[in-house]
Structure 1
Amino acid sequence: MDEKTREALEQADEAALRRVRTVAGLMDEAVRVPGTDYKVGLDPILGIVPGGGDLVSAGISLYIIAEAAYLGVPLSTLVKMLGTVTVDVVGGSVPVLGTLFDAYWKANKWNVDTLEEYLGVEGEEETADPDEPVSIDVTESD
């Protein structure tokens, strides 16, 4: 593999990590609960929607697992990640208590941590202003 191809793959891997970190942050820790240091995301909010909210949340969670598979994570680790999402869906589907469970069980964050551990990269430090908009750079390739 030539140097240009290797560099392109590394940039793709970094972009994939940024994407999964962003998705996990939105789903699990998008908003700080006023008066506390605790954060919740869209997962418990989607869980309020009867019937389909937890399934939509699970579909979004599967995106992180798909990216992990793309990055070469072994099947055993992918199965562990699927188990985490399964617990999230089952626990979150319990009426009333499921929303509280979703606020506590941060499957997406745990799955990103698992992916980062496999890849041997450090988690992203939270130094950005939470009120600052998120931007995703999109570049065209030849």
Structure 2
Amino acid sequence: MIKADPNSPMAFAATLPLGRDPESVRRRIEAMERLLEGVVDVPGMNRKVGLDFFLGLIPVVGDAVAAALGAWIVWEARNLGMSRLQLARMGARVGFDTLLGIVPFVGDAADFFYRSNTRNLKTIRRHLDRHHPSTVTVER
């Protein structure tokens, strides 16, 4: 009998909650941000890259997929009841990242340095910490 690796991405995905409560949404958004921005350590630098960077290497289609995944984070934030101004700022970050991604090499550097999904996660965490304090998690 073959046993699944408990650290595999599929095992992690199976543990994500499907509820619409703020804690479930927070866990899903944090998992998506980690997938998009911090999967692989870059040797020699204290920096991680994720799926957003690797998708940016694929012309046009990769940037469109990365933009859709970033837009999903904004959509989840909308479900949390965030203000239109916050959602507009978050959407603008994703749009700016997507526009930079269209330019070869500039877009790849932007994915490495300008992390729109991480910035959006910080905005969502501030909202959740203020309006749903029971969802606060302790950073390791």
Same structural fold, with TM-score higher than 0.5 when normalized by the shorter chain: yes
**Distance change >3 Å, CA 97–CA 11, structure 1 → 2:** closer
Identity of aligned residues (%): 33
Which position in structure 2 is the counterpart of 1:34?
Answer: 43
Q: What letter is aligned with 1:46?
A: L
Once superposed, what is the RMSD of the aligned Cα atoms?
A: 1.8
TM-score, normalised on structure 1?
A: 0.76
Cα distance in 1, alignment partners of residues 35 and 102 from structure 2:
20
Cα distance in 2, alignment partners of residues 123 and 114 from structure 1:
15
Which position in structure 1 is the counterpart of 2:4?
Answer: none
Cα distance in 2, alignment partners of residues 20 and 104 from structure 1:
20
Which position in structure 2 is the counterpart of 1:91?
Answer: 100
Q: What letter is aligned with 1:105?
A: Y
Q: 1:50 aligned to 2:59?
A: yes
Instruction: Give runs of aligned pairs for residues 66-85 of structure 1, distance below 5 A.
Output: 66-85=75-94
Deviations 1:78-98 (A, max 9, x none): 000001101110112111221
Cα distance in 2, alignment partners of residues 86 and 69 from structure 1:
16
Count of residue correspondences:
117
Cα deviation for residue 123 of structure 1 reads 6.5
**Distance change >3 Å, CA 52–CA 124, structure 1 → 2:** farther
TM-score, normalised on structure 2?
A: 0.77
**Distance change >3 Å, CA 35–CA 123, structure 1 → 2:** farther
Cα deviation for residue 34 of structure 1 reads 1.4
Which position in structure 1 is the counterpart of 2:25?
Answer: 16
Contact 2:36–2:52 under 8 Å retained in 1: yes
Contact 1:41–1:103 under 8 Å retained in 2: no
Cα distance in 1, alignment partners of residues 105 and 117 from structure 2:
21
User: Which contiguous aligned blocks of 4+ residues in structure 1 show a shift greater than 6 angstroms?
Assistant: none
Contact 1:113–1:123 under 8 Å retained in 2: no
Corresponding residue SS for 1:88: helix
Cα deviation for residue 11 of structure 1 reads 7.7
Which position in structure 1 is the counterpart of 2:70?
Answer: 61
